[in-house]
Structure 1
Amino acid sequence: QAMRLMVGQPDYEVYVAHAKAVHPDRPVMSYEDFFRERQQARYGSRTGRCC
C-alpha cells in the first residue's frame, strides 16, 4: 500500500470501504474504472506531452 501511495495509486479496497461507508447510495466503481479515473486525475491534465 505504501508503494502505491508513493506512485499515486491509492488502494482499491480502501476506496471500496470508504465508498460503502460514506456514500452507500452511490454505486461503487469497478477496479478498471477506479484505476482509469485515478490515472486520469494524476496524469490527464498535463499539457505539452513529450510522446
Structure 2
Amino acid sequence: MKGLFTGAIARSAQAGRGTGRYLATTLRLMVGVPDYETYLAHMRANHPDQEPMEYPAFFRERQQARYGGKGRIACC
C-alpha cells in the first residue's frame, strides 16, 4: 500500500513541476521576458550549424525586436 501512495505522490509532484514550468513560461511571455530555453531548442532543431547566442545577447536582441531597435532580426 505504501508503494501505491509513494508513486501517486511522485506523479503528482512531477505534474506540478510541469504545470509550474508552463505557468512560468506563460507569465514571462505576458510581461515580455523571452524564453531562452525555447530559443535553444529552436536553434538545435532548425539551425544546428549555427552557434546560438549567449543569454545576454539573446535578451538584448529580443528587447530590440519587441520595443523597436535598429532593424529587426528575423528567423525563418
TM-score grouping bracket, smaller chain normalisation: 0.7 to 0.9
Aligned CA-pair RMSD = 1.2
Choose the corresponding residue for 1:38, options 62, 65, 76: 62
- Paired residues, what number? 45
Q: Counterparts of 1:23 and 1:33 in 2: how far apart (Å)?
A: 17
Name the % identity.
Answer: 64
Deviations 1:1-51 (A, max 9, x none): 111111222210110011011100111000000000000001125xxxxxx
Detail structure 1 runs of 4+ shifted over 3 Å in the superposition. Answer: none
Instruction: Pick 1 or 2: higher relative contact order, CA cutoff 8 A, min separation 6.
Output: 1
| Counterpart for residue 44 of structure 2 | 20
The structure whose residues are more often helix, as a share, is 2
Segments of structure 1 that go 5 or more residues without pairing to the other structure are: 46-51
